[in-house]
Structures are given as structure tokens and as C-alpha cells.
Structure 1
């Protein structure tokens, strides 16, 4: 096939996805045409951009973000591997940062009326996700809270050069895979076939997943947390599930919002845990209706929230293969996971 014919077919593939993902600028179409691509999980294709895999609309949002975002020293970013506790961590971070303005036990607390993704908006889906426009962020109340799945190396230079705070969470790759696979099949457009478990697993092990390879994503923030522990807090989903009170105190201290002895005696930490619990959030009307970002339905954000659910899906050979991938990619980093 000639390069001209390939370019025409490639352009047609992009055009078919524009209706679902929003208009792409001519500059970004040209960029995307130059990138390696592979089959996507919930879009026809994902593209290798700055060393990680993502969708055309995400690439447009990220390039605009990189060019124009100016960090403030008081900014807080909730950064995550997709499907690793993002909604939960956003809720916890918002509750900690705003507990002086919104009493945790109040019946009017924003987390009872707004989805956490509305209160801590995604850089790539919400803030910069509107057709290559540059948002006016000057009037956002400080400290500004943002969320992102963008790998550390691809964050705006103004973030990496500032003293703003980044709270990062990841999850054991086994549970992350199952959560990603089930989520992708729920939100994919009807025009795409269901992604079967075996195919998705092979893609995942090869790093072909949104914002992956997952090992590079984790290592980017892990290494930065070692270099700048005052600026990057690295958390694991399983550790938080095991002792959330300890980790909330750790988060609050990192965010320069430590809990006072009075707050602890009054049960503020326990109230945050209850307010942001999986059961509480899943039962709220706001989290069972409406959408966020690029028309993702809120009801699909809450599945089980369990540790070890992967064992109900993966065969022994799959477990062996993914274990080898984890050892090969993360083995020399001191970053490890408990899987049960």
C-alpha cells in the first residue's frame, strides 16, 4: 500500500472517531498521522505520544495543556493510573483540603451533591478537553485542585518546576487490569465490538493501554517521589484500604493541612472516611446519574472497590505471565505490590 493511500485511510479512521471525541485541530490531525498506532480498548485506535498510549482527543488536550498551563505554588494535583482509585482519592483530597470551608458532617457538603470529578476536574478531559480552546483559570478559587492520568514526564514544565503538590495513587496491576477491562466495555461506543478478556490481557501485558505502559507511568511518579518527597506523595490502593486513617493523616501533613488534636478527638478523620467510602459514594444519586468529562456516565465509576477481585477472572497462566512482566519492568525499582 502506498504512503498516500495509507494516509487517506488513516485520516478516515481519525475522522470517524472525531464525532465521538470532539473536533481535532488541523495541527493535531497532522501530529496524530505521524504517530504509531495500535488497536484501542474503547476507541478504534490509540496512539503512541511522548512515550505513552492515548486517544486523539487526549493528545489535543495534553498539547494545549503543555503549552499554556501555568502552575501556582498552591496547586494540588491528584495523579493516577487509570482505574486505580481515582474517584476515591479525588474525594479524599477534596475533603481534606476544604474541611475548613465545608464541615465534613454537614448535610450540604459538596461531595453529597457533586461527583468528585466535578470538584477535582481532569486536566485532559475537562479543563483542556474542549476543542483546542484555552480555558481561563485565573478565577478558580485557590488552592486549585486538578486531576490527571498524564505521566509525570509529560506534565507541564511549569508544574515540574514549581513547588505544587502531587498526590499519586496506583494499584496492583492485576486488579487494575480487570477494572480497566470491565470499564472499557461499559463505556465503549456501540459500534465497537466487546473486547474479550484474553485480547485485552495481551494488550495490557504489552503496555497497550490508556496512558500506559502501566510500569512507566508508575515509575515516573515513583522516582520523582524519591527525588522530591515534599512535592510528590506516592500511595498504593491496597495500603490505603488496609489502614486509611494512617494514610489520611499522611496526606493531610503532605498537603500542609495536618489534622489538629481537636479534629482527631472530634472524629473528623473518621467522618472523612465515612463520607468518601465506596458504599457512601456509590449510593449517592449524583453518582448514579449524569456524566463527567467526555460523556462518561457517573454510574460506571463504581464497580466493587475490592482488593483481589482479579482472582475471579485470571487463569494460572495469565497470573504467571503478568507476574513476569511486573518483575521484569519493576524488579529493580523497590516498587512492589501485594496482590491479595
Structure 2
């Protein structure tokens, strides 16, 4: 049975019986066989549900669907690739634990938001033949926080039934440019540089995690059906009105700020400052820290997770024709939602 790697070691401390190990391996093998039967495309992805995904993604999704038992007190964070994942992890952790940790000695000052103590990365933790022992793992957060890129339709049923889900959307143009920079900054040694032009068509065709438009629409529609269970945040609005969005997040999670926290402690402003990308990327853990990628295949720098994080940076890198094509798809797919106004569709 394959070994887990250090990033997720805290979830594999409980000793299991031989029968339990064999059962987990049988399930893993069954999942691998199922995946091998799924349709493939020119990018080597498999069609699961309505999304083209890597085999590693599908393995973790199937395992989480079978084994992840979310509780009503848990928090589930979801984003498409490079759409505010690190930021929302930090914000959610700070909001949930604001009474447990002081701002002067806060875990986020020394712990990167991508680490498992801040939020459990579902695709990584559930990617192994062994089933992670989430319940037995030491958790510094007052509430268990998960982070995922999984489409809503493929989330575990326990999450859909009982857990609060927070989704962050982002202008597809900015998400693509950010993903392009991240892919090159975090590529394994000797891997070739990928041009934006090379990445563009694959992105539009959904060749990384399904299309960003389908991903966003699933969460948007669910947030409209069940606003008490799914909160849909916009990256652009979070940049424009961070304090208002932090208040919305706290209210949604059932931990609204008191008048004392607002007026005397300035908790909202402190959380916004602590979790700002400008502040986080200057910390030593961000500058010097290294970690295995989510699958444990190679070591990447924590600094790869930060760049500008600005709205509209696509204008520096993307040709007018590229921008027009993405805007056209966005209008076709998302035109019924007012969030496209934030993307400055021309």
C-alpha cells in the first residue's frame, strides 16, 4: 500500500487492523478500476459527472464521497483554481478562531494558510489507499475547516446535507493569468515553461478542472437555492469591500461580530489586515517555506502561492482576442447573474 507523505502525516496516526487495511485497499482498487472505464480526452483527463478531471482528482473525490463524514459544525471552502484559495483559507480560520488566538501571537504569523493545521485539503488527504483519520487528528482550529477545488455536484453527500459551504468566484481572465503564473512558478525541476497561449485553449475547453464557468455556476445556483447553506463570494468584491465580506462570512458561519468586537477591539479590521495577501506574502514562512505539492510528487515553494492578487491584471498579459473570447463565453454561460458586472465585461 502506498505511503502518505509528510504534509498529511497527522491524518494517518491511528493504527488499523489488518482487515481494515485490506478493505481500504479493496475500495481503492475498485475506484481505480472504475476510473479506467471512464471516457478520456486529448488532455489525458477522465470524464466524471460533467467534469473532465485527472485520475488523481477522481481518486480523491471518490474516496471523500465514501469516507468523509462532515458535521454541521464543519466549514467547507471551495474555489476554482487560483481564485482566492489561500486568502479564503486564512480568512475563515481567522474568523472562526478569533476568540482562541490573539492577533499578536496568531498561528497565521508562522503557519502558511495552505498547511493542514489551517484547513484540510480534501484532494490531498483523500488521495491515498489509506483512509485519513480526520476525527483522530489534532486540530488547532475550534471548528474543522476543509478546502477543496471539487465541483459542487461531486462533493460528499454529508457536506451537501449538513455543512456550511463558502465559495469564492473570480473573473475567469484573472484566474487564467494567475494559474499560468502559478503553473510556471511551481513546476517541477526541468519541466518546460508553458506559454499563456498554450494554456488558453485548454483552459477554455475545461482541460484543467472542467470549465471555470460550470464550476462557478454549480455553486452559484446552489447558493440561490439554499443561501443558508452555501455562501457565494466574489473575489472582486472581497478586494473592494474586504470588511463587509468578512462580516458576511462571520454571519454565515454563525459567528457574527459583537458590538464590542467591532467598536472596541476592531476585530474586523485586524482580520482583514492579518489575512491580506500583501501581509501574508511578506511573512518568513511564505518567503522561505517549502512543501510537497498536494500529491507529494515534488517540493514547491510557499512563495509560489502569492503573486499580485489584483483585479484586472489580465490586461497586462492577455491579448484583446483572448479577452474577448473569454468574455463571450462568460456572457453566454453566466449572463443571468449580476456577478459578471464585476468582471468588467466589455
- Category of TM-score, reference length = shorter chain: 0.7 to 0.9
Q: Provide the rounded CA distance (Å) in 2 between the counterparts of 1:231 and 1:319.
A: 34
Q: Provide the rounded CA distance (Å) in 2 between the counterparts of 1:269 and 1:120.
A: 20
Contact 2:262 2:268 in 1 (8 A): yes
Q: 2:121 — aligned with what? A: 122
Q: 1:10 — aligned with what? A: none
Structure 2: give runs of 5+ residues left out of the alignment. 1-24
CA displacement, residues 144-194 of structure 1 (integer Å, 9 cap, x when unaligned): 1110100001000111122x2111101001100101111112223346433
Q: Provide the rounded CA distance (Å) in 1 between the counterparts of 2:48 and 2:286.
A: 32
Instruction: Report the count of equivalent residues.
Output: 308
CA displacement, residues 176-216 of structure 1 (integer Å, 9 cap, x when unaligned): 0101111112223346433221121111122222x221111
* Cα distance, 1:268 vs structure 2: 1.0
Matched, 1:60 2:59: yes
Q: 1:219 — aligned with what? A: 217
Cα RMSD for the two superposed structures? 2.0
Q: 1:228 — aligned with what? A: 226
* Cα distance, 1:39 vs structure 2: 5.3
Between 293-302 and 172-181, report the one with greater CA deviation: 293-302
* Cα distance, 1:274 vs structure 2: 1.0
Alignment of 1:30-179 (within 5 A): 30-38=33-41, 45-103=44-102, 105-106=103-104, 108-118=105-115, 119-125=118-124, 127-129=125-127, 131-140=128-137, 141=139, 142-162=142-162, 164-179=163-178
Contact 1:238 1:338 in 2 (8 A): yes
Q: 1:314 — aligned with what? A: 318
Q: Secondary structure at the match of 2:114?
A: helix
Q: Provide the rounded CA distance (Å) in 1 between the counterparts of 2:150 and 2:271.
A: 27
TM-score, normalization: structure 2? Answer: 0.84
* Cα distance, 1:333 vs structure 2: 4.4
Matched, 1:241 2:245: no
Structure 1: give runs of 5+ residues left out of the alignment. 1-22
Q: Provide the rounded CA distance (Å) in 1 between the counterparts of 2:96 and 2:143.
A: 8
Q: Provide the rounded CA distance (Å) in 2 between the counterparts of 1:296 and 1:166.
A: 28
Q: 1:268 — aligned with what? A: 267
Cα distance change on mapping 1:35 and 1:149 into 2, 3 Å: same
Contact 2:234 2:339 in 1 (8 A): no
Q: 1:250 — aligned with what? A: 248
Cα distance change on mapping 1:150 and 1:329 into 2, 3 Å: same
Matched, 1:325 2:329: yes
Q: Provide the rounded CA distance (Å) in 2 between the counterparts of 1:183 and 1:202.
A: 17
